[in-house]
Amino acid sequence: MQMNRREFLTSAALAPLVTLPFVGSAHAAARWDRTVILVELSGGNDGLNTVVPYTDSGYYSLRPNIAVAKETVLQLDERLGLAKELEPIMPLWNQGNLAVALGVGYPEPNLSHFRGIEIWDTATDSSDFAQSGWIGQLYEGVEAPPAEFAADGMVFGRGVFGPLKAPGRRVMVLQNIGQLDAAALLPSIAPAPGMEGGMAVDPNPLAHVLGVQQDFKSGAAAILAKGVENVDAKASFPEGNFGLQMEMAAKMIAGGVQVPVIKVTLGGFDTHAAQLDEHPLLHAELAAGLRGFSDSMKAHGMWDDVLVMTYAEFGRRPKENGSGGTDHGTSAPHFLMGGRVKGGLYGEQPPLDALVNRDNLQHRLHFRSLYATVAQEWWGMDASFLNAAPLGAIA
Amino acid sequence: MAIPTTDEIRHLAARTGLGTPTQSEMNGLAGLTYDQAMDRLLGGFTGKAVMAPPDWMSVPPARRTANMTQAEKQAIQRQQGANSRDLKGWWYSEMLNTTSTFTESMTLFWHNHFTSSLKKVKTPNLLFEQNATLRTHALGNFADMLRAMTFDPAMMKYLDTVNSKAGAPNENFARELMELFTLGEGQGYTEDDIREAARAFTGWGYTADRELILRPQSHDNDTKSFFGRSGNFDGNDIIDILLEQPRVAVHITEKLWRHFVSATPNSAEISRLATLFRDSAYELKPLMRAMLTSDTFRDPANKGTLVKSPTELVAGTLRLVGFIPPDPTGLLAQGRNLGQDLFDPPNVKGWPGGVNWINTAALPARYEWLRSISDAIDQVTAPVRGGVNPVAQMSRASRRIFGEGLKADEAAAFFGMPPALMAELMLPIPRAASPGTTGAKNAVGALLLDPVFQLK
């Protein structure tokens, strides 16, 4: 039997890495016709100034200089409201397509950017380690996307694989669609025997180079075959890299490119100082990009086929610091949106009068519940390895 | 003592330099023992740049003030943008013209350790000065460098030390000081240590002349508890206590090992080298010498096991072929395309490096740039008409492409080599592609476009 590079790695090389208990299942095939857009809010979004507890006097006393004014919030209910710069996504809330998961975090939170995002990316407990990201684990342990797909996942912007990191996975990193033209110039070089590399984390650099080269050629061919460069997104996107990433995601999906996951990133959320200068701009950019994407999907009749989910390494400290900013914190709210999303609030807002772990917010919802929602409710896969209940947020 | 094979010296020169040694660098090391070559490379370190500072460094940087008009503020912003590009170009020029690529390689390493970003710091003058400070200490003493970086104006702005006040300290610097700069994530410090250290770093700032000051009214003068000790510590005390922790030497040694030796740290070796590093009071030359003469480093199987960074690829390749663009600002877009925008690391942890440099966006961009060099070589080395000096011809042709940028002696030495020797100079291990498949029209291009050229 001839194995391709990916099969070879998943069957043989990976076995020792997998520590999580997977249950081999007789599940129906996953819904690979559905795509997830993962939106990383890099730097750690300040949740309290995003979903604002506008009736809580504790909020205003913790933040005398940087609180969001009560009269400006866009009300979600009688206690919580979105910062006004998020206005472009309010229609999604009103249509019942925006779920807001409150108090998302995990026990024994780590306040490092880098260890924090590693915990989120690999879905481990705070003190455990895993080589592969949670999507990679899902592919390895439950079901992998069909081989004819353009890629196992795409990463737009800076090429950090995060949840998609896993040996042997075909991950397309793209800055813009024009880059795909370069594929025609690249020769195919078959890796030497014994050097069948996997591109995502292959430790052998030559095997890695050759694997990337091969995956780029095949991925680019699959994408270009759909004429993606000529797809009209039928929506407008904000200036800047995030808008570009969301527009590319829209074009890929509207063009019919087969890919289960697209990861995009908006950075700059590490607002230690002068937060009022930066954070509202980030919200505006985020909301305009998300709105452009939903407009595009609706215009193409594909809003029911996509699920958008935000995540970040942590939230921020409830009490402002002396520089008009906020230091690293723990839990935060996150968004899920899409045509099949059952809008509303999930989890509960952590109380400001019961801070824990040195003045930080309690978490009320494990982040793995969000992942279980994606795996089980969205893709119809066995998500038992995540050991968390899905939200019940997908119709 | 045995004279090492050229291969071994090439490995040393590639790893300590900018990924690919030039023919003249190799000539300079010819006939030396391995230890002598090591001496030569370490001895080349001066701690100073060869290029003059940009003109704007002689002028105090303009500062935005509250009573400026919008147009005045925008004018400052435009100037900062122009100077930022100039700053990045300046460093490329330094890398292209230096006589000690080891100095630049070490400075790049520290730039990726003590990170600071123009996006936040904004004033290019501060980043230029930080770069000069990093270069001064690059192969000097780590403890001195740590102290200098702690109170470096660009760093103080990047990690908010300048904004940190008693009563409501900013934790940004204190956290990264322990997590990234000294101990490593989760290595023996607590969240309380971060908070207490943050208190010690309150009240520091710098004047318009970039002199360090401590503002008494903003500094926390109460007792702090740090690593089990108590006292009215200030920032200097925190650094002293950290430097007493054995873990610091381990963390720094391991990071250097990953950069210069192998992506797979050998714990016995790290432990041996870290002890040596600590025993030498954080002197970097003995550490680097021991690391680069270790059996693991010299193991033939260790050749070609690291990936060149974008900066190494661009600067090392141009040095190799002797094409030195007089205006290096054109290289900035290359660095950015390939994933490394100097002075703008993606975050405080810097560029992840290693195999992470190579993904489906970066690899085609690397080949595209190398193909443009290969095409330029076609033009520069086009057949010589009868009687014309080949170097003169190359100069003329390259002037069309690179301006006045041809380093005639380097180019002559390189292009005059027999093809077999060229492959040995350019590639760390045998080529992976047969020359005909690379799409290059000349022998040098076929080597540039070989996947193995990505490695060092």
Q: pLDDT digits over A343-358, tens only?
A: 999 999 999 999 998 8
Residues of chain A positioned with their CB less than 8 A from the CB of B164:
321-323
pLDDT value for A15? 39
pLDDT above 90 covers a percentage of chain A that reads 82
Mutate to test the interface with A, among B163, B355, B456 (most CBs of A within 10 A): B355
The answer to whether B209 touches B218, Cβ cutoff 8 Å, is no
The answer to whether the CB atoms of B171 and A183 lie below 8 A apart is no
User: Residue A373 above 80 pLDDT?
Assistant: yes
Mean pLDDT of A261-275: 97
Over residues A58-77, mean pLDDT: 98
Q: Is A189 on the interface with B (CB under 8 A)?
A: yes
Residue A17 has pLDDT above 80, yes or no: no
Residue A230 predicted with pLDDT over 80: yes
B217/B221 Cα distance (integer angstroms): 9
Q: Looking at per-residue confidence, does A3 or A270 come out higher?
A: A270
Contact between residue A167 and residue A144 where contact means Cβ atoms under 8 Å apart: no
| Better-predicted residue by pLDDT, B397 or B260 | B260
Assigned CATH class of A38-269+277-386: alpha beta
Q: Which residues of B touch A322 (CB under 8 A)?
A: 163-170
Provide, as residue numbers in chain A, all residues whose Cβ is less than 8 Å from the Cβ of B159.
Answer: 272
Query: Mean pLDDT across the stretch A79-84?
Result: 98
- pLDDT tier at A21 (50, 70, 90 boundaries)? very low
In chain B, which residues have their Cβ closer than 8 Å to the Cβ of A185? 364, 367-368, 371, 439
Question: How far is residue B327's CA from residue B90's CA, in Å, rounded to a whole number?
Answer: 9
How high is the pLDDT of residue B424? 94
Provide DSSP, B71-85: HHHHHHHHHHHHHHH
Instruction: State the smallest CA–CA distance between residue A174 and chain B in angstroms.
Output: 5
Write down how long chain B is.
456
- Residues of chain A found within 8 Å of residue B195, distances taken between Cβ atoms: 358
Question: What pLDDT does A20 receive?
Answer: 44
Ranges of each domain in chain A? 38-269+277-386
> Terminus-to-terminus CA distance in chain B, angstroms?
27
Please name the member of B170, B348, B451 whose beta carbon is closest to the beta carbon of A327. B170
Examine the pLDDT at B48 and tell me if it is beyond 90. yes
The answer to whether the CB atoms of A205 and B192 lie below 8 A apart is no
Q: Which residues of B touch A201 (CB under 8 A)?
A: 355
Average pLDDT of span B65-70: 89
- Between residues A187 and B157, the one the model is more confident about: B157
Nearest to A321 among B169, B304, B355 (CB): B169
- The residue in chain B having the minimum alpha-carbon distance to the alpha carbon of residue A320 is B168
- B129: amino acid identity, one letter: E
Cβ atoms B65, B309 nearer than 8 A: no
Inter-chain CB proximity B168 and A199 less than 8 Å: no
Has residue A266 got a pLDDT over 70?
Answer: yes
CA B443 to chain A, closest CA, distance in angstroms equals 16
Mean pLDDT of B10-35: 96
Q: Does A221 touch chain B (CB under 8 A)?
A: no
User: What's the mean pLDDT in A51-79?
Assistant: 98
Task: Quote the mean pLDDT of chain A.
Answer: 90
Identify the top-confidence range among A1-15, A22-36, A176-190, B287-301: B287-301
Best probe of the B interface among A209, A210, A215, A269, by most B CBs < 10 A, is A209
Task: Flag if A206 and B429 touch (Cβ within 8 Å).
Answer: yes
Task: Identify the band that residue A300 occupies on the pLDDT scale cut at 50, 70 and 90.
Answer: very high
The predicted-structure confidence for A357-371, as pLDDT tens digits, reads as follows 889 999 999 999 999
pLDDT for the residue A13? 37
Whether the per-residue pLDDT at B189 is higher than 90: the answer is yes
**B267 CA to centre of own chain:** 25
Q: Which band of pLDDT confidence, cut at 50, 70 and 90, is reported for residue A183?
A: confident
Cβ-Cβ contacts under 8 Å, A113 against chain B: 347-349
pLDDT at B402: 59
In this predicted structure, the answer to whether residue B145 has a pLDDT above a threshold of 80 is yes
Average pLDDT over residues B315-327: 89
| Residue B333's pLDDT band (cuts 50, 70, 90) | confident
* Rounded mean pLDDT, A369-394: 97
Q: Are strands A153-156 and A261-266 parallel, antiparallel or unpaired?
A: parallel
Nearest-Cα distance to chain A for B35, in Å, is 28
Tokens at residue B329, please? 């600002």
Name the token pair of B10: 């090439």
What number is the average pLDDT over the span A149-172? 93
Mean pLDDT score of chain B, rounded to an integer? 92
Is A18 a residue whose pLDDT tops 50? no
pLDDT at B387 over 80: no
A-chain residues within 8 Å CB-CB of B452? 206
Q: How far is A137 from chain B (nearest CA, A)?
A: 20
Distance CA A170, CA A30 (A): 18
Cross-chain residue pair A209–B451, CB shorter than 8 Å: yes
Q: Is the pLDDT of residue B91 over 90?
A: yes
Is the alpha carbon torsion for A154, A159, A162, A168 positive or negative? Answer: positive
pLDDT of residue A201: 47
Contact between chains at B361 and A175 (C-beta distance less than 8 A): yes
Name chain B contacts of A42, Cβ cutoff 8 Å: 347
The residues that bridge with A265 in the sheet, in sequence order, are A40
pLDDT at B396 over 80: no
Please check whether residue A43 touches B, CB under 8 A. yes
- Most confidently predicted of A136-140, B372-376, B388-392: A136-140
Nearest CA in chain A to B195: A358
pLDDT at B391: 61
Quickly state the pLDDT bin for A14 (edges 50, 70, 90): very low
Predicted local confidence at residue B5, as pLDDT: 80
Q: A389: exposed, middle or buried (C-beta count within 10 Å: 0-12, 13-18, 19+)?
A: middle
Check CB contact under 8 Å for A192 and B186: no
Residue of A nearest to B341 (CA): A158
Per-residue pLDDT, B389: 59
Q: Which of A321, A357, A358 to mutate to test the interface with B (most CBs of B within 10 A)?
A: A321
Segment B439-454 shows an average pLDDT of: 92
Q: How far apart are CA B356 and CA B344, in angstroms?
A: 17
Query: In angstroms, what separates the C-alpha of A134 from chain B's closest C-alpha?
Result: 19
Give the chain B residue nearest A111 (alpha carbons). Answer: B191
Q: Do A358 and B192 make contact, defined as CB atoms within 8 angstroms?
A: yes
Give the pLDDT band (50/70/90) at residue A10.
very low
Query: Which two structure tokens, joined as six digits, stand for B103?
Result: 């100095």
CA distance A98 to chain B (A): 30
For residue B436, the model assigns a pLDDT of 82
DSSP state of A13: I
The pLDDT-based confidence of B400 (bands split at 50, 70, 90) is low
**B61 vs A92, more confident:** A92
Residue B165 and residue A322: Cβ atoms within 8 Å?
A: yes
In single-letter form, the type of residue at position A121 comes to D
For residue A296, the distance in angstroms to the closest alpha carbon of chain B comes to 25
Per residue in A86-125, pLDDT (tens digit) is 999 999 999 999 999 999 999 999 999 999 999 999 999 9
Question: Would you call A348 exposed, middle or buried from its count of C-beta atoms within 10 A (0-12, 13-18, 19+)?
Answer: exposed
Residue B384, pLDDT score:
57
A352 vs chain B: nearest CA distance in angstroms? 18
Of the pLDDT bands very low, low, confident and very high (cuts 50, 70, 90), residue A22 is very low
Which helix H or strand E contains B395, and what residues bound it?
Answer: helix B390-402
Integer-rounded Cα radius of gyration of chain A: 21
Q: Which two tokens stand for residue B351?
A: 């560029």
